[in-house]
Structure 1
Amino acid sequence: MKSISAGSAGVLVASTLLASSLLALSLAAAPALAQKKYDPGASDTEILIGQTNPYSGALSSYATQGRVQDAYYRMINEQGGVNGRKIKLITLDDGYSPPRTVEQHRKMVEDDKVLAIIGTMGTPTNSAIVKYMNAKKVPHIFLATGASKWGNPAENPWTMGWYPTYRTEGIIYGKYILENIKDAKIGVLYQNDDYGKDFVNGLKAGLGDKAKTMIVKEVTYETSDPTVDSQIVTLKGSGANVFFSATTNKFAAQAIRKAYDIDWKPIQFLVNNASSIATVLTPAGLDKSTGIISTAYLKDPNDPQFANDEGIKWYRDFMKKYYPDGDVNDPQNQIGVSIAQTTVQMLKQAGDNLTRENIRKQAASLKDLELPLLLPGIRLNTGPQNYFPITQQQMIKFDGKSWVRFGNVLSGS
């Protein structure tokens, strides 16, 4: 048996007492150091978030975003959730009707008591609730709209978009037309709300001083209109040889088809938000859509270049298992997944501080976030004064089968 001398025993006792004191201090400090902070919608086991989507009405094809986000959170929950908590998504139908959007969000904030509103669809719909959300100080973030108004932290600090802004995209088109199309006479069709106007304002900014002379005709439509056939006839009559279509899915398809049917053959520019092969170009007719120019910030699952891409492989597997009814080739599903991935990253950063203020702070603290479905070189960055997560895009042209990228990644700044 090993003996311990008196001196050693004294040192041992002193050491034991010191260790005991340090342990007691650490235990006393532990609750303060590990204290969890919760606002309504958060607990040790759950994070409750909400949104609306147009599950009914003319824009119902966009509502797949809500379905795919729900599927993604289900996958995350099966993997253990975020920091041990399961994500619960309330996604309600507003029919793309602003009054209904207001009603549904009041319910989620005041009755369901969600922690945050994440991914609500639409420019006019979000416009109807932005003052309410900021007055209530509830995060109103990663919105499925590219209106530039969502990047104004001084006026609406609780509101942030996710898409590249429509104005940014419009600027890219304007610059391209100015530099590449000689004697352009531009006819414009746009949705008569903030969504359409943002694109047109960007187009004019990109054209600069030439906008007044190059744009020969502007026509609008309402989302309640049955068709845009008469508007396309008017644009053809204006003598326009360039067609800028700031539309949504249903009306984009109608415009493409009508232009073809009346033998109007302008160079066509179609906004990214309505560039789906599955829900726009196929209904319009792939042969009628050949040559259309748009922009992209997401990888195209049909692009041979991405045939062996790890992000696309993962996405196909995910869709097959968690959302088999969803169309892999519909970019709205890619957007929905990417918004959900951005949300999960933000929640990871928030840790155990699940207050609305910290959610807002973390949404504005994304640094070079790479997502598997974004084009190479495009990353998400936000800051206290930067509420525009994505600012880059690349030009694409439809060849009758798929979108073909050309040129470099561009910024609309």
Structure 2
Amino acid sequence: MKRRQFLAHTSALAVGASSVALISHASAQNKDDAVVVGCTAALSGPLGSLGMGMKAGVDAAFSQINAQGGVNGRTVRFDVLDDAYVPARSVENVRKLLGDSNVVALMGCLGTPNNAAITPVVEEAGITHLAPLTGAASLRRSDFRHLFHVRASYTDEIQRLVGSLVSMGIKDLAVVHLDNPYGREVLEDAVKAMTQVGIKAVATVALATDGANMESVLAAIKQAKPSAVLLGTAGAATTALVAGLRKQSTMLPIAGVSASLTQDGIRQLGGLVQGVGLTTVFPDPWQAKHKLVRDYQAAMTAMGARTFDSGSLEGYVNARIMVEALTRAGKGAGREKVRQGVASIRNLDLGGFSVDYSPAAGRVGSKYVGLGILGADGRLKV
């Protein structure tokens, strides 16, 4: 992401100025013979669209695999329980899933506070949790034997983002972060990254997860007069925040981590997203030059999707890795065999995106971080 591109896109804008189960049945084959992968995620609430996007990608991948005969001759199914981004509900959901002997692993449980709440339960139960939807460094401890991350960490994303902004000469940064464990961890990463390059934030402002204090947040940013705003936010609150910042000044550069804006939020904002910079931790879902993306697009199209986005691509990628692990675990394998299957993956190339769970990788499959700028059409220009 170059300064000229980032600021040009922004300038162009100025001119135009109780747990509810949602079960995925990807195949009509005998349900009792299915290999079941469980998940707790927000399918409603402030991060509902993020959870639904992830689920759509997983469903597409499993449907594609099942059409080819499944895994070791068995259908694979994704069972998701809605927690509405409430950690206590996440714990309830995981306990329910653990009580089902057909659930051989967890995948894609969403949210930093939610994963912090469920991880002790996961570790005690000894069940694999592949690809938690969080980049929190606090959840990447070596003693968490059953957590296998796919995406790069928020620390990696923030360092890349801050470094890029500073290299453009943009140094008076304000940070808006969610007022929860996720947001506070991103803020901590941002402060450290800025300290490393010799700058200090002109303002750090906490935004309620439901956006209830939006007016005071916008006022604080306006008073600080930053050169750019860095987003440590996620979900519906980000959508309203970006709209409010654009109302104050269409010229103010805005940039955030990959979790900041959902595809739903991008659609709601319309042309207001033009010029917003975002980190990326997966390939561009529209770049069909990668075999992985072509496979993803074919799977989504087969499910009736008319558009592609990073959230469903992440779900698709995670599901493909899970299928590889299940295949390695063998027919009829239990939870420990699935953990061994994931741990045995070395430099798995999915067609433009690779993951590696060798001991040196520390159970983090990818370190890839890219940068892009959203165009008026809502697509990232990288």
Query: SS in structure 1 opposite 2:131?
Result: strand
- 1:124 Cα shift? 1.0
Match status 1:391 vs 2:367: yes
Distance 2:355 2:301 in 1: 27
Query: SS in structure 2 opposite 1:90?
Result: strand
Query: SS in structure 1 opposite 2:313?
Result: helix
Distance 1:172 1:195 in 2: 18
- 1:112 Cα shift? 5.1
Larger relative contact order (Cα-Cα within 8 Å, sequence gap ≥ 6): 2
> Which residue in 2 is equivalent to 1:200?
187
Residues 313 and 56 of structure 1, relative CA distance in 2, 3 Å threshold = same
Distance 1:66 1:280 in 2: 17
TM-score scaled by structure 1? 0.78
> Which residue in 1 is equivalent to 2:307?
328
Residues 360 and 307 of structure 1, relative CA distance in 2, 3 Å threshold = closer
> Which residue in 1 is equivalent to 2:214?
228
Whether the 8 Å CA contact 1:146–1:166 is kept in 2: the answer is yes
For residues 141-182 of structure 1, the C-alpha deviation after alignment (integer angstroms, 9 at most, x for no partner) is: 22122112332232x111222221111101111222333225
Residues 309 and 129 of structure 1, relative CA distance in 2, 3 Å threshold = closer
Distance 1:147 1:337 in 2: 21
AA aligned to 1:380 is V
* Equivalent residue for 2:356, pick from 373, 381, 391: 381
Whether the 8 Å CA contact 1:169–1:202 is kept in 2: the answer is no
Distance 1:47 1:353 in 2: 8
Residues 313 and 161 of structure 1, relative CA distance in 2, 3 Å threshold = closer
AA aligned to 1:82 is V
- 1:44 Cα shift? 11
> Which residue in 1 is equivalent to 2:152?
164
Aligned length: 349
Residues 171 and 209 of structure 1, relative CA distance in 2, 3 Å threshold = closer
Residues 161 and 227 of structure 1, relative CA distance in 2, 3 Å threshold = farther
Match status 1:356 vs 2:335: yes
* Equivalent residue for 1:248, pick from 214, 227, 234: 234
Matches within 5 A, 1:6-405: 45-64=33-52, 65-111=54-100, 114-154=103-143, 156-182=144-170, 184-210=171-197, 213-226=199-212, 228-263=214-249, 265-276=251-262, 278-286=263-271, 288-302=272-286, 306=287, 310-322=291-303, 324=304, 326=305, 328-352=307-331, 354-372=333-351, 376=352, 378-384=353-359, 386-401=362-377, 402-405=379-382
Distance 1:265 1:225 in 2: 23
The structure whose Rg is larger is 1
Distance 1:307 1:113 in 2: 36
AA aligned to 1:225 is G
Residues 313 and 217 of structure 1, relative CA distance in 2, 3 Å threshold = same
Distance 1:113 1:352 in 2: 13
Residues 228 and 160 of structure 1, relative CA distance in 2, 3 Å threshold = farther
Distance 1:249 1:95 in 2: 12
RMSD: 2.4
Unaligned runs of 5+ in 1: 1-42, 406-413
Unaligned runs of 5+ in 2: 1-30
- 1:45 Cα shift? 4.4
Whether the 8 Å CA contact 2:91–2:117 is kept in 1: the answer is yes
For residues 169-201 of structure 1, the C-alpha deviation after alignment (integer angstroms, 9 at most, x for no partner) is: 01111222333225x211111112232233223
AA aligned to 1:296 is T
For residues 362-403 of structure 1, the C-alpha deviation after alignment (integer angstroms, 9 at most, x for no partner) is: 32232222224xxx4x42111235111110112212243332
